Amino acid sequence: MDEGRALFLQIAESVEDSIVGGTLAEQERAPSTNELAAFYRINPATAAKGVNMLVEKGILYKRRGIGMFVAAGARAQLLAERRAAFAERFIAPLLAEARKLDLDADDLTALLREHAAAASTTIEGTSP
Protein backbone atom coordinates (compact mmCIF):
# COMPACT_ATOMS: atom_id res chain seq x y z
CA MET A 1 0.00 0.00 0.00
CA ASP A 2 1.07 3.53 -0.75
CA GLU A 3 1.33 5.31 2.61
CA GLY A 4 0.46 8.70 1.25
CA ARG A 5 -2.97 8.06 -0.30
CA ALA A 6 -6.25 7.32 1.45
CA LEU A 7 -6.08 3.58 2.08
CA PHE A 8 -9.78 2.96 1.53
CA LEU A 9 -9.47 4.41 -1.99
CA GLN A 10 -6.57 2.08 -2.70
CA ILE A 11 -8.61 -0.88 -1.47
CA ALA A 12 -11.53 0.10 -3.69
CA GLU A 13 -9.16 0.52 -6.64
CA SER A 14 -7.60 -2.89 -6.09
CA VAL A 15 -11.04 -4.53 -6.30
CA GLU A 16 -11.91 -2.41 -9.33
CA ASP A 17 -8.64 -3.44 -10.99
CA SER A 18 -9.60 -7.10 -10.60
CA ILE A 19 -12.98 -6.42 -12.20
CA VAL A 20 -11.53 -4.36 -15.07
CA GLY A 21 -8.76 -6.93 -15.59
CA GLY A 22 -11.28 -9.75 -15.65
CA THR A 23 -9.90 -11.80 -12.72
CA LEU A 24 -13.10 -10.99 -10.81
CA ALA A 25 -16.14 -11.68 -12.97
CA GLU A 26 -19.62 -10.20 -12.65
CA GLN A 27 -21.90 -12.12 -10.29
CA GLU A 28 -18.81 -13.65 -8.68
CA ARG A 29 -18.19 -13.32 -4.94
CA ALA A 30 -15.86 -10.40 -4.13
CA PRO A 31 -13.29 -10.61 -1.31
CA SER A 32 -14.80 -9.83 2.09
CA THR A 33 -13.77 -6.91 4.27
CA ASN A 34 -11.87 -9.25 6.57
CA GLU A 35 -10.10 -10.97 3.67
CA LEU A 36 -9.02 -7.60 2.30
CA ALA A 37 -7.89 -6.43 5.74
CA ALA A 38 -5.82 -9.57 6.26
CA PHE A 39 -4.33 -9.54 2.74
CA TYR A 40 -3.31 -5.89 2.76
CA ARG A 41 -2.60 -5.84 6.54
CA ILE A 42 -4.83 -2.88 7.16
CA ASN A 43 -7.48 -1.91 9.67
CA PRO A 44 -10.75 -3.75 8.81
CA ALA A 45 -12.69 -0.50 9.24
CA THR A 46 -10.60 0.98 6.44
CA ALA A 47 -11.24 -2.05 4.22
CA ALA A 48 -14.97 -1.78 5.03
CA LYS A 49 -14.95 1.86 3.97
CA GLY A 50 -13.47 0.89 0.61
CA VAL A 51 -16.01 -1.92 0.11
CA ASN A 52 -18.90 0.36 1.10
CA MET A 53 -17.77 2.89 -1.44
CA LEU A 54 -18.05 0.22 -4.15
CA VAL A 55 -21.52 -0.75 -2.90
CA GLU A 56 -22.63 2.88 -3.09
CA LYS A 57 -21.26 3.13 -6.63
CA GLY A 58 -23.24 0.02 -7.60
CA ILE A 59 -20.11 -2.01 -8.39
CA LEU A 60 -20.73 -4.52 -5.59
CA TYR A 61 -23.95 -5.65 -3.94
CA LYS A 62 -24.60 -7.52 -0.75
CA ARG A 63 -26.28 -10.90 -0.55
CA ARG A 64 -27.51 -11.36 2.97
CA GLY A 65 -25.49 -13.89 4.90
CA ILE A 66 -23.35 -14.86 1.91
CA GLY A 67 -21.20 -11.84 1.16
CA MET A 68 -20.40 -9.24 -1.46
CA PHE A 69 -20.88 -9.90 -5.17
CA VAL A 70 -19.89 -8.08 -8.35
CA ALA A 71 -22.93 -6.39 -9.88
CA ALA A 72 -24.04 -7.02 -13.46
CA GLY A 73 -22.70 -4.24 -15.68
CA ALA A 74 -19.96 -3.35 -13.18
CA ARG A 75 -17.16 -3.85 -15.67
CA ALA A 76 -18.76 -1.63 -18.33
CA GLN A 77 -19.38 1.05 -15.70
CA LEU A 78 -15.76 0.97 -14.54
CA LEU A 79 -14.42 1.03 -18.09
CA ALA A 80 -16.51 4.12 -18.86
CA GLU A 81 -15.31 5.79 -15.68
CA ARG A 82 -11.66 5.03 -16.33
CA ARG A 83 -11.83 6.14 -19.94
CA ALA A 84 -13.30 9.44 -18.76
CA ALA A 85 -10.44 9.86 -16.28
CA PHE A 86 -7.77 8.64 -18.70
CA ALA A 87 -6.74 12.06 -20.03
CA GLU A 88 -6.34 13.57 -16.59
CA ARG A 89 -4.55 10.56 -15.08
CA PHE A 90 -2.17 9.66 -17.87
CA ILE A 91 -2.04 12.31 -20.57
CA ALA A 92 -1.63 15.35 -18.30
CA PRO A 93 1.53 14.00 -16.59
CA LEU A 94 2.80 12.75 -19.97
CA LEU A 95 2.48 16.25 -21.43
CA ALA A 96 4.10 17.84 -18.40
CA GLU A 97 7.18 15.58 -18.72
CA ALA A 98 7.24 16.06 -22.50
CA ARG A 99 7.32 19.84 -22.06
CA LYS A 100 10.39 19.52 -19.84
CA LEU A 101 12.11 17.47 -22.53
CA ASP A 102 11.10 19.79 -25.39
CA LEU A 103 8.96 17.15 -27.05
CA ASP A 104 5.93 18.55 -28.87
CA ALA A 105 2.60 16.90 -29.68
CA ASP A 106 3.91 15.58 -33.03
CA ASP A 107 6.91 13.95 -31.35
CA LEU A 108 4.58 12.34 -28.83
CA THR A 109 2.21 11.08 -31.51
CA ALA A 110 5.10 9.53 -33.38
CA LEU A 111 6.40 7.89 -30.21
CA LEU A 112 2.94 6.54 -29.34
CA ARG A 113 2.48 5.03 -32.83
CA GLU A 114 5.93 3.44 -32.71
CA HIS A 115 5.37 1.88 -29.29
CA ALA A 116 1.84 0.76 -30.06
CA ALA A 117 3.11 -0.99 -33.20
CA ALA A 118 5.95 -2.67 -31.29
CA ALA A 119 3.54 -3.81 -28.56
CA SER A 120 1.05 -5.30 -31.03
CA THR A 121 3.73 -7.27 -32.91
CA THR A 122 5.01 -8.66 -29.59
CA ILE A 123 1.52 -9.76 -28.64
CA GLU A 124 0.88 -11.30 -32.09
CA GLY A 125 4.27 -12.96 -31.98
CA THR A 126 3.68 -14.59 -28.59
CA SER A 127 0.08 -15.71 -29.16
CA PRO A 128 -0.29 -19.28 -30.44
Partner 1 sequence: MSPVIEVAHLTKRYRETVAVDDVSFVVEKDTIYGLLGRNGAGKTTIMSILTAQNFATSGEVRVFGESPYENAHVLSRMCFVRESQKYPDDATAAHALRIARLFYPNWDQDLADRLVEDFQLPLTRRIKKLSRGQLSAVGVIIGLASRAEITFFDEPYLGLDAVARQLFYDRLIADYSEHPRTIVLSSHLIDEVAALLGHVIVVDRGRVLLDESAEELRERATTVLGDTATVDRFLSGRDVIHRESLGRVTSATVLGALSPLERRELADAGLELAAVPLQQLVVRLTLHAADTETREVVR
User: What does the binding site for partner 1 look like in residue numbers (CB under 8 A)?
Assistant: 1, 3-8, 33-34, 37-38, 40-46, 49, 96
Helical ranges in 1-128 per DSSP H = 7-21, 33-40, 44-56, 74-86, 92-100, 105-126
Closer residue to partner 1 (CB): 9 or 20: 9
First to last CA, the chain: 36
CB of 76 to partner 1, least distance (A): 27
Closer residue to partner 1 (CB): 41 or 83: 41
CB of 40 to partner 1, least distance (A): 7
Helices 33-40 + 7-21 axis angle, to 10: 110
Closer residue to partner 1 (CB): 27 or 43: 43
Give the burial class of 18: count Cβ atoms within 10 A of its Cβ; 0-12 exposed, 13-18 middle, 19 or more buried. middle
CB of 18 to partner 1, least distance (A): 20
CB of 19 to partner 1, least distance (A): 23
**58: phi then psi, degrees, rounded to nearest 5:** 85, 15
Closer residue to partner 1 (CB): 20 or 103: 103
